Structure 1
Amino acid sequence: MSGVEKVQPAFQPSALALILKHTNITTINDFIIVGFPGLPPEYYGPVSALLLLIFLAIVVGNASILAVIIFERTLHKPMYWVIFHLAMTDLTFGIVTIPKVLARYWWNDMITSFGACFTQMYFVHSLAAFNSSVLMIMAFDRFVAIWLPFRYPVLITNKTICVACSLCCTVTFIRMLGLVLHASSLPYCNLNVITQIYCDHLSVTQLGCGENVIYVKFIAFVNSMFSLLGPLTIIIFSYTSVVIATLKMSEKRHKILSTCAPQIFITCIYYVPRCFVYIANNLGLNFSTDARVIITTMYSLIPCAVNPLVYCFKTQDIKEVLIKRFKRRKVCIVFKTDFKHNIS
């Protein structure tokens, strides 16, 4: 035996990793948003162009709906204030999510700061939950209109709708603040790559380390079930009651169903994909990363772009207002053209 003892280093890599795993210290300052992970570089242009078109459709479509409802006094009715809140939510969601993924494909800007990522997460989940609440209010409005028609003008007023939407918005944004703060309390040690087009709770928290990750995910799951299934239960009950009551009527059946059809369609394109994803996950159907990102993108962004078309073509009052304004604009253009021709 030699008298000289071999000195061991104070921290070996495995010991350091073990310490980081069990401490509440975040060692990363930013996240990298990959977007569509399996997308070849030669498709960056077409995909970003498609996303730009979706963004323009969301902004122009929903901004037009907001302007029409605000400036057309004949649309100052309870149902159209519900549509107003839906359009405002869709517009904000598009502005919060799409510009960052466009920057990723246009300028290769994939890095987002720690605070910006959690801020985006906060708005993504708050707006989605608020959208669900507004769809519930829309369904309840139709239920009261069909089952309590004489009480409808008293129970459902512009003030009632605005108060209900404001209350749902306030409660939702406060509740989601707790959810996001809970997620931000996790330590994030060495992984910072988000395989998604924006920061959402699932994609971010799976990068967390420490013993509380499972608990944070469970609380988020309970919260999401409450946000989705609670309003969905009321929505299904309301529209089922409306359909049953309508089928018993001998008159105005077509008019009532045509009034409810766009609302049911909007609800379906919001809920059906989300329910499919949750059911598939519970049945053990695993999607590839690319498929998961594409499905999430479709059920997040497509409804925001499609809803204004549904309002315009399936809602009689809005369609009539737009046609009237278009004809008025056309007459003004013809008049100006004739006036200039006569002068010359």
Structure 2
Amino acid sequence: MKSTNTTNIKDFIIIGFPGLLPKYYGPVSVLLLIVFLAIVIGNVFILTVILLERTLHRPTYLIFFHLAMTDLAFGIVTLPKIIARYWWNDMISSFNVCFTQMYFVHSLGAIHSLILLMMAFDRFFAIWFPFKYPLVFTNKSVSIACCLCWVLTFIRMMGIVLHASTLPYCDLNIIMQCYCDHISITRLGCGERVSYVKLVAVGNAMVTLLVPLTLIILSYFFIIVAVLRMPHTQRQSKVLSTCAPQLFITCLYYVPRCFVYLANNLGFQFSLVVRIIITMTYSLVPAAVNPVIYCFKTKDIKQALRQRFNNRKISNALRYDK
């Protein structure tokens, strides 16, 4: 059968959570707004703390800085539109806007994955090669590496999005998702090339997720081996305390994704609503929770905040005495 090369649709309709009754639109929009505010306030707070505190101008915290930027950007890219859908019933997204959102959703996800890999490498070098670590992981080298993660990923994802845009979109324009992503959009494509475009995207997604994940697992495996070989319990606990926040952040990002991937391949089927809820959970919860982990699980950030708070108390006390 000969495929058409004509795209007939100009807009996509974002459904969000299929089957949700109108009486729940208000509570859902409020919940999404709370998540959005948590992501914005929490990550802006972390970015500000790292930027202002000179004691945190070190490679590990520069990596945290870039991770917080990806979390903040992802929340800004995805949540306002779905909040507007349930608050003002704004379901329409233009063709170009939807593809732009898809571009940033997948780019930011891939960048996040690479930043997590850099976090793992940072701890691996610090523990296995403590004397070479200051030479390899400098502020300059980490900044360059993080910037390359952003630039190269944006260039690579441009190809994936442009590839999807070459498909004709004939009649269907309903997206059963809370934001525009590659699967939801290409599912609406028509013609003979749809399966090929999907295959290229799946291959890219596997490389984006599985290659960094494999290297992250190997890094933390060798870190655990190094910890077990340490003679003193106190030293072991110190190393684990520095790795625990990063490991927890990594698990928050990867475990739900791997669960969904394995479930699909083992034949366990989710309903559409459950799938969307799981997707939103693993996409947004880490972005909202990560700032809390930075503050309460990272010793240097806690110390910097405590010092700043104490300095402010002293300053206010002196002003009051005057």
| TM-score by shorter chain over 0.5 | yes
In the alignment of these two chains, the number of paired residues is 320
SS of equivalent to 1:281: helix
Matched residue type, 1:43: Y
From 284, 290, 295, the counterpart of 2:278: 295
State the distance in 2 between where 1:225 and 1:280 align.
16
Cα shift at 1:338: 5.5
Cα RMSD after superposing both structures: 1.2
Partner of 2:168: 187
State the distance in 1 between where 2:119 and 2:186 align.
33
Matched, 1:304 2:287: yes
Cα shift at 1:169: 1.4
Q: Which runs of 5+ in 2 are unaligned?
A: none
Partner of 1:166: 147
Cα shift at 1:336: 4.6
State the distance in 1 between where 2:203 and 2:120 align.
24
Partner of 1:273: 256
Partner of 1:323: 306
SS of equivalent to 2:13: strand
Partner of 2:27: 46
Cα shift at 1:40: 1.2
From 94, 109, 118, the counterpart of 1:128: 109
Cα shift at 1:328: 2.6
Alignment of 1:151-300 (within 5 A): 151-251=132-232, 252-300=235-283
Matched residue type, 1:71: L
State the distance in 2 between where 1:286 and 1:203 align.
17
Residues 43/236 of structure 1: CA separation in 2 closer, same or farther (3 Å cut)? same
Matched residue type, 1:265: F
Partner of 1:5: none
Residues 336/34 of structure 1: CA separation in 2 closer, same or farther (3 Å cut)? farther
Residues 37/338 of structure 1: CA separation in 2 closer, same or farther (3 Å cut)? farther
SS of equivalent to 1:265: helix
Matched, 1:37 2:18: yes
Cα shift at 1:324: 1.7
From 75, 80, 87, the counterpart of 1:94: 75
State the distance in 2 between where 1:264 and 1:155 align.
22
SS of equivalent to 2:126: helix
Cα shift at 1:129: 0.2
SS of equivalent to 2:167: coil
Percent of residue pairs bearing the same amino acid type: 64
Cα shift at 1:337: 5.1
Partner of 2:60: 79
Matched residue type, 1:301: L
State the distance in 2 between where 1:333 and 1:153 align.
39
Residues 105/338 of structure 1: CA separation in 2 closer, same or farther (3 Å cut)? farther
Q: Which moved more, 1:314-323 or 1:38-47?
A: 38-47
CA deviation string 1:117-146 (max 9, x = no partner): 000000000000000000001101111111
SS of equivalent to 2:93: strand
Matched residue type, 1:55: F
Cα shift at 1:334: 4.6
SS of equivalent to 1:112: strand
Partner of 1:138: 119
State the distance in 2 between where 1:333 and 1:55 align.
33
Matched residue type, 1:175: R
